[in-house]
Structure 1
Amino acid sequence: MPLNRTPPSIPTLSNTDCISENLCQSDPNLSLTSDHSVLSEQITQRIKRKRSTKQYDTTSDNLTGFKNEIKDFIKDLISNQNARLDRFENHIMEIKSQYTKIEDSNSSIEKSMNHMSDQLTSLENNISALEKERSNMVSQISLIEEKMENFERNLLKTSIEIRNVPKLSQGARETKEQLYALARSLSTILNVELKGSDIRDVMRYPSKKEAKSSTISIEFSNTLLKTRILQASKEYNKRNPSDKLNSSLLGLNSDKVPIYVAEKLSANSNRLFYMARSFTKSNNYLFCWTSEGRILIKKDTNSPYIVVKSESQLETIVKPNTA
């Protein structure tokens, strides 16, 4: 069978409880309240505060002023930024203009450099051609000089020189007969027989007026006579170390001075012979002599001889250790 439920009882509040719960105006027993409208009004009634119009207007004005300040600040900021951007753009344009000028200048310089490079290349080619031509000319000149030296050597291969021969008295003129007589006197001293046809020419080299002696050149008819005279003069000096060949043996009325018989050389060979003698002295070489126009040096009796052909060759000869 169905169960009947009774509604829950509403607790009653005392006046004291009403005061503590802020329900002082409510009836403690709602079920006993007959006026439901009054109860509803008591429950839903709220106290509403009225908004102050003056306060609202002030806040609105402050907000509007703040907005205006923000707008002005943003406008100033944008204006400043635009001004800076304009200056920056002007700087960029100036830099771009300068860069364009520099680029044009660099282009002009590059063209000039290319032109100069082409000129230098052409100049180098010309120099190379000139150096090659010069090298060929030097080779040809050396060949010509060598041929001339050989030719001159052939012309002088029958000639000798008698150096330091006193002159005749000052003011007197020397004749060919006197010079031939000197040549025959030399051959007699050296025990080399000469005929009149064996001597082709005799001459004295020119010298300064104040010089008391000079060199006499004798040209023989063949190289055999020349070789005999040279060899005999060396043997004579070896046999007479204290009284070597001198002017008194030639019958000259002058002070007794030594004379020297040597092979006649060309100008180049004579200079090279001088340098070879200086080289042998400074480097302790014992021998330096000429033979048939050639210049020879020798370190000692057991060393091979060296034919000196040029000045540069002397520089390449190994010098002995001086340590």
Structure 2
Amino acid sequence: MISPALLGRARLLAGPEVSETAARGLARATARPVERGTPGDGPYVYVGASLPDAPRGADLVWFHSVNAGTDALLDGGPWPRTALLTRTVGRMGERIAQYVLGWILAECQSVPEYTALHARAEWRRIPGELVAGQTAVVHGIGRIGSAVAARLRACGIRTVGVARTPREPPPGFDALAAPDEPVAARWVVAALPLTAETAGYFGADRFTAMGGATFLNVGRGATVELGALEGALRSGAVGRAVLDVLPDEPAAPGDPCWRLPRTVITSHSSGITADDDIVTDFTACLRELRAGRVPPLTVDTARGY
């Protein structure tokens, strides 16, 4: 835990990913100037998306990530033992939930099919599909997964979260299931962080068990084995796929991912962080630290989330 006294004398640095608008908000929250570039001596707080080599030392007391995912930070080498790591979530859960719901409704209203018919100037009626009463399975029951479940549940969709240990369903979920427990679902949503345990989590076995469900990934790209997904799409084990994240980003025009059947790829845009998100979450963490409490947005660097 950072002592309020140490926090009070720490300098505030911001990485290039932090806009001038966000930097002004951080300066107001801390009542101190925001510095850019490489830090000198003395304790400091760093706000950014990546941690340069120079600040990776004992003088770093707190790093606040502008992103919700911190796997890239933790993959860069051992995390400084005494440095706190927090993350930005903001209204990301709300944005991602809206994204998931939008694609689900588009599918039920045959938007892809009508788009193709329009391109051919072909008049043909396609019955709509009701979402109410159908089931969505959400892998990842943290803040983002819970927000997705709550939005789907509000539309009458039964929501089943996946958890490794039995517990009461968190808000937004009707029930929980074990990772490999069979659940007949119309949609499967991936909202997992990337850790050693979740890398390649969605492989051939899990895709085969989906029974024709639509798969949507709004978590991390490396949780999915794209070759296994392609096989499942071609066999019909996965009906459609919507991928907002990929193992390697950005995807080049010749990348095979663009040729996956019945798949739409969006450019890691379902939950783009806004300046207000960064400032709001940083300020909330600062308030907790000044009160001597651990911020809820603290990342367990050993677990990776």
- Which band: TM-score by shorter chain? under 0.3
- Bigger strand share: 2
TM-score normalised by L of structure 2: 0.21
Which has more radius of gyration? 1
Identify the structure with bigger relative contact order (alpha carbons < 8 Å, sequence gap 6+).
2
- Bigger helix share: 1
TM-score normalised by L of structure 1: 0.20
